[in-house]
Chains A and B, each alone.
Chain A
Amino acid sequence: MPKVYNWHIGREMDYPYEESRPEKQVAWVFDINKCIECQTCTVACKTTWTSGKGQESMFWNNVETKPYGGYPTGWDLSILPKLGEQVWNANNVYEGKTVFESAPQGEKVNGYLPTDEDYAHVNLGEDECTQVIEKGAFFQGIHNAWMFYLARICNHCTYPACLAACPRKAIYKRKEDGIVLVDQTRCRGYRECVKACPYKKVFFNMVTRTSEKCIACFPLIEKGEQPRCVQTCIGKIRLMGFLNPPEKIRRDNPLDFLIYYKKIALPLYPQFGLEPNVYYIPPVHVPREFLYQMFGPTVDEAIETYRNAHQDRELLGALLLFTSTQKIIDSFRVKGDYVYGYNEKGDEVVKVPFTEPLYIRPYYDNKEKVYRHTIT
């Protein structure tokens, strides 16, 4: 089996195909600290792409409550034990096995196939805390009960397990932008991809009898716009853009900046070995052991950087770009009290103030002869 380099785990690993990075890689940063689980992203995706027959319980985008929630039910709890011990050494190199390296004989990927019931409880565990809050308790600054919201889409992985497992080569990764797609004319519904994807983001459609997954809203991306789940995000937790190959990274590219330079956003379960391309800013209030398991060994540094973002104008500027425009931001610059975003041609697509200007109007509107409900 060929060896490929996976920078998330800091080492080479086995993968059924040779390393072949795209010219640029579609990528996202989700700031978990800002997510309110309003599910607007889920609904935007659902109404755009999966309202067909056979897609009733299919969510390319979902938001689940950790630690108890998960869609399909227990997806991470089911795959994690299969990997065995997951140890990182002092140099942040993963010493355990990936889903490729731990595959049983005769399989390309170590996976499992969920049952239909696993797709039946999308919001199982929603809003459940890790412990019961005592009657009469009130917020005193710090409490031990915790939970957080995890928004999930297809990770459009650099080393997709779905693609590796497909015996028909019906799944491909686009060279121009790294989007991973299932060819709906070629797929014969073997479900090897559904079984292989550790994130369980390939779904079987019992009506078309083929497997389907997030297409990264490629019709929007092709015209320079961010996907629907990003555009509609109420909490402004999302930013989509392109990650450059490691040798071509640019500091003024917001994705390169947040992921490679500031290392503030981390991959979900890097130990799976897929080099996923949705990066998460970890929640600051969650026990670190839980976060190490979920986002790898550099959680502490990421949270430290995030907590100090108010002292770093450049970082704060990049964070202000989240869900600030429909357009894809190729580069950004902080000038004065504003951060500017530019498209690939260098045209300005967004200008966001560091401090929202405050206007106060009189209570009484002399022109309309009415009192105003809001004056700011």
Chain B
Amino acid sequence: MTKNIVLALMILGIVSSCGQKDQTPENYSNAITAVRVEDTIPLTDPDAKVWKKAPIALIELKPQNIIPPIIQEPSIKQLRVRAIYNDNYFGMLLEWEDSTKDELINVNDFTDQVAIQFPINPENPGSFMMGNKGAPVHIIHWKALWQRDVEKGYLDVQDIYPNMWVDLYYFKKIPVYTEFTEKEIKFPRVDEFSPEQNDYNPAIKLRNPVSLVERQIPVEEAFAEGFGTFTTQLHQDAFAWGKYENGHWKVIIVRPLVSPDSRDAPLPSETVVAFAVWDGSANQIGGRKQYTPWIPLKLQ
């Protein structure tokens, strides 16, 4: 009995010391090694065994407090990264602690997000903050909100306000108020609108990439060469999928190893990569984020 208690305490000690060990800067990785695998890259399963073949790189996240708008303190301090690749695809598993799953959007609700960034020219990666003129970058950006859209349908007003009432929408007839019937009144959903009905939703009508009601994948590939130049790519070749469990996000991001798209960064055996993580419950969005500088990435 005593033995068992001692053993249990020892295990606890090891576990807790591991946790503490992670916090210390000397355990932060200064490079990421991607391991070549024969298996297919799992697109949606962060717990697949194949990920274990790659070593964990523990990356320190810094608060973006350089260019306004900023955050003062990071709410997420570290990111664990595993990278694998096969003949066709390159995949990363990104994990971080976040006590709340933020996947809604409203005036004061922000979503959890993560992005990875590669230099278009690994010889001259340019600024780690979204590149610079002459040194563009390729960004792959996942949002919890977008994944919710894909899983449950485009987030609409009645999802946030289930008891909403609107007397009249010009674009769609609402069933007449049926006080004396049992019939449930269903409000029109925006993802069922015709293009004409979206005349009242200009950003949807204009196909703004943040307003895609028919979104199929929870990720966006973009091109940038400096602040304020984030531009959605015409060709979307990447995929991503996240899983939230016990205060922990695990997000897989997969891209082709070799891409014919000139706006996609090449992946030679040695390049660099940078990360950004947003915590929705800390009202983080845009430049209000945690970031990393360029980190060497080796494809073993």
Instruction: Spell out A's residues near B (CB within 8 Å).
Output: 47, 51-56, 106-108, 113-116, 119, 165, 167-169, 184-192, 194, 203-210, 212
Contacts and interface: CB of A to CB of B under 8 A. Distances in A.
Contacts of B108: 113-116
A168 B69 contact: no
A208 B69 CA distance: 23
B210 interface: yes
B125 to A, nearest CB: 22
Contacts of A206: 105-107, 155, 157, 160
Nearest to A169: B228
B105 A52 contact: no
Interface string B66-92: 001110100000000000000000000
A191 B107 contact: yes
Given A106-B72, A107-B68, A167-B286, A207 B210 contact: no
A106 B107 contact: no
B200 A184 contact: no
Contact of B206 (A115, A169, A185): A185
A106 B68 contact: yes
Q: Is chain A's binding surface mostly helix, strand, loop or mixed? A: loop
Given A187-B203, A207-B156, A113 B227 contact: no
Nearest to B287: A167
Q: Is chain B's binding surface mostly helix, strand, loop or mixed? A: loop
A207 to B, nearest CB: 5
Interface in B154-183: 155-157, 160, 164, 166, 168-171
B202 interface: yes
Q: Which of A56, A106, A210 has the most CB of B within 10 A?
A: A106
B295 interface: no
Interface string B145-158: 00000000001110
A53 B208 CA distance: 16
B211 A53 contact: no
B141 to A, nearest CB: 10
A192 B287 CA distance: 10
Contact of A54 (B70, B201, B227): B201
Interface in B274-296: 283, 285-287
Interface string B103-122: 00111100000000000000
Given A168-B228, A192-B69, A204-B107, A184 B160 contact: no
B150 to A, nearest CB: 15
